[in-house]
Chain A
Amino acid sequence: GAGVSQTPSNKVTEKGKYVELRCDPISGHTALYWYRQSLGQGPEFLIYFQGTGAADDSGLPNDRFFAVRPEGSVSTLKIQRTERGDSAVYLCASSLLAGASDTQYFGPGTRLTVL
């Protein structure tokens, strides 16, 4: 079956603009995770959803970042008033359930560049 997909694959925007990044998880997966990966670093946890609700958003760096998953499937990561420091690859992952015993399947990521 299809894996996790993310759109767009690349996004270039200007400082101060608003962006939305989309994640389509594997069908039937209830848990969905967002990470940010800066150049030369490992992924950094941002937020995860169990169903429609954000179970843990402790990794969101500030209130410019927000994510939703209204129907428990597709998720959108929203960044307001983008800054150059937001430039990174944003990764999405999904798993059947939430827990260390459930394998997370990652999408290819969205590369965000803020000019």
Chain B
Amino acid sequence: AQSVTQPDIHITVSEGASLELRCNYSYGATPYLFWYVQSPGQGLQLLLKYFSGDTLVQGIKGFEAEFKRSQSSFNLRKPSVHWSDAAEYFCAVDSSGGSYIPTFGRGTSLIVHP
């Protein structure tokens, strides 16, 4: 069965610092991979997704993620964090053959210090 691991429950960074959120997945073939953000009182919003091709994926709000098959990872990065980026971030994997039944990680809470 597919699974997603987000090893960091909380991450604290200073505003303006770079950010990397880790995500590891377990699946035999190349899955579809996603990152979502959930801000307080708001719905989940898709940041970016990877299906195939270029392993470096650009998303909204200045985020990017890199798929590394050898490490079964899909880490999310941002070069300079803004206070408004404080939120919960979820990595998800879909290996259901495109019917999009994703399996989500437990999330990483990002705290941004001024």
A interface residues with partner B (beta carbon < 8 Å): 3-4, 31, 40-45, 48, 55-56, 58-59, 91, 93, 95, 98-109
Question: How far apart are the CA atoms of A109 and B42 in the complex, in Å?
Answer: 8
Residue pair B100, A107 in contact (C-beta under 8 Å): no
Residue pair A4, B43 in contact (C-beta under 8 Å): yes
**How does the 8 Å CB contact mask read for B54-84 relative to A, with 1 for contact and 0 for none?**
0000000000000000000000000000000
Question: How far apart are the CA atoms of A106 and B36 in the complex, in Å?
Answer: 10
Residues 29-59 (chain B) with a chain A CB within 8 angstroms: 32, 41-46, 49, 51
Looking at the assembled complex, report how far the CB atom of B93 sits from the nearest CB atom of chain A, in whole angstroms: 10
Contacts beyond the supplied A98-B100, A99-B99, A100-B49: 6 A-B pairs with Cβ under 8 Å? A42-B105, A100-B94, A101-B98, A105-B43, A108-B41, A109-B43
Residue pair B42, A104 in contact (C-beta under 8 Å): no
Residue pair A98, B43 in contact (C-beta under 8 Å): no
Question: How far apart are the CA atoms of A41 and B46 in the complex, in Å?
Answer: 17
Question: How far apart are the CA atoms of A100 and B45 in the complex, in Å?
Answer: 15
Complex A-B: 30 CB contacts under 8 Å? A3-B43, A40-B106, A40-B107, A41-B106, A41-B107, A42-B92, A42-B106, A42-B107, A43-B44, A45-B101, A48-B100, A48-B101, A56-B101, A91-B44, A93-B43, A93-B44, A95-B100, A99-B98, A99-B99, A100-B49, A100-B51, A100-B94, A100-B98, A101-B98, A102-B100, A106-B45, A108-B41, A108-B42, A108-B43, A109-B43
